[in-house]
Amino acid sequence: MGVLLVALAGSASSSAQQVAGQFPAHWNQGSTDCEHHARPPLEVEAYNSSTYILRESLCQTYEGNFLYLLIGTKRALLIDAGDVEDPAQMPLARTVEGILARTAPGLPLLVLHTHGHFDHRAGDGQIAGLGNVEVVPSDLASITRYFGWKIWPDSQGQIDLGGRIVDVLPTPGHHEAHLVFYDRQTQLLFSGDMLLPGRLLIADTAADLASARRLASFGQSHPITYALGGHIELDRAGTTFLGVNYHPDERPLQLTAKDVADLPSAIADFNGIYSRHGDYLMINQNRVLTLYAACALLALALIGWGIGRWWRRRKLNKSRG
């Protein structure tokens, strides 16, 4: 996989126990001709011996989702289940089962999601078919019940994987039940679709801004090596990949603690519909779709008016002539 970039435990605020890891120099970039250039459907990279990053092939889904498998001494946690349901197309369950059999045989698996958009939970069905697995549904009621949260979103949860605690933070805004995960062992922050090298799709600006502020304040008391999102949608020149199976010269997956700290000022700049802050394209998809629908209706009304006018003139000319 070429040269490996080493995530050094270099920050002064890092605790002594922080376990470092490695990212590949680049991810499988998909293809313009997926049919004739078959790619492995799921790329598996070991960040370290107990942390795995799984990336769905861009040829299987242009979403190219990233999934994360964290292994403790008592259980393993899979964050997100990806965009492809069919195990014949995306051998997610078999792959996760294989990693666990090799590295931590017999450990139970817990599956949680950054949020309930389909591309983060489509693989739930095949994972649920494995033995010794608990899949927590991604809707708000199920999540608050699982963590015993009474006050949403001003609560925090912890998952004990055995010698490895993962903090869970409610971060609605992109999705009403969005969660961000923080692994104290690697100090990686798993930021889902709230923060990623790509578009920031914001459904509820006020909620998203409040979440970004809570996350930034969490980052002040918890050292963050990197923030890892659910997708990569940008190339190194800042061009956005949209709905394509080929991502040449993708940006790295990993964002920094500074990106987490700067997120509130980016979202505070959002005009509520469509705006840009640095390389972030911020979009409220619902409002953009409503605007498109309104424009389409207006165009239809103008065409109708134009046809009516032409018809009346034609009739008038006929009656005169």
Where on the chain is the footprint of Zn ion (CB under 5 A)?
A: 117, 119, 193, 230
Rounded least distance, CB 194 to Zn ion, Å: 9
Rounded least distance, CB 50 to Zn ion, Å: 25
Q: 99-107: which pairs have CB atoms within 8 A and are 24 or more residues apart?
A: 99/44, 99/52, 99/69, 100/71, 100/76, 103/49, 103/50, 103/71, 104/50, 104/71, 104/76, 106/132, 107/71, 107/72, 107/74, 107/75, 107/76, 107/132
Nearer residue to Zn ion within complex by CB, 119 or 208: 119
Nearer residue to Zn ion within complex by CB, 21 or 229: 229
Rounded least distance, CB 256 to Zn ion, Å: 21
With 0-12 / 13-18 / 19 or more C-beta atoms within 10 angstroms meaning exposed / middle / buried, residue 278 is exposed
Say whether the peptide bond before residue 153 is cis (omega within 30 degrees of 0).
yes
d(CA 275, CA 119): 24
Rounded least distance, CB 117 to Zn ion, Å: 4
35 half-sphere exposure, CB direction, 13 A CA radius: 0
Rounded least distance, CB 139 to Zn ion, Å: 14
Rounded least distance, CB 288 to Zn ion, Å: 15
d(CA 111, CA 119): 15
End-to-end C-alpha distance for the chain, whole angstroms:
80
Nearer residue to Zn ion within complex by CB, 193 or 262: 193
Nearer residue to Zn ion within complex by CB, 219 or 230: 230
Nearer residue to Zn ion within complex by CB, 65 or 185: 65
Rounded least distance, CB 104 to Zn ion, Å: 27
Nearer residue to Zn ion within complex by CB, 41 or 230: 230
Residues 6 or more apart whose CB falls under 8 angstroms from that of 8 comprise: 20
Query: How would you list the strands of the sheet with 274-277, edge to edge?
Result: 200-201, 280-283, 274-277
Cα–Cα–Cα angle for 209, 210, 216, nearest 5°?
85
Nearer residue to Zn ion within complex by CB, 117 or 251: 117
Cβ(29)–Cβ(58) below 8 Å: yes
Nearer residue to Zn ion within complex by CB, 117 or 164: 117
Rounded least distance, CB 275 to Zn ion, Å: 19
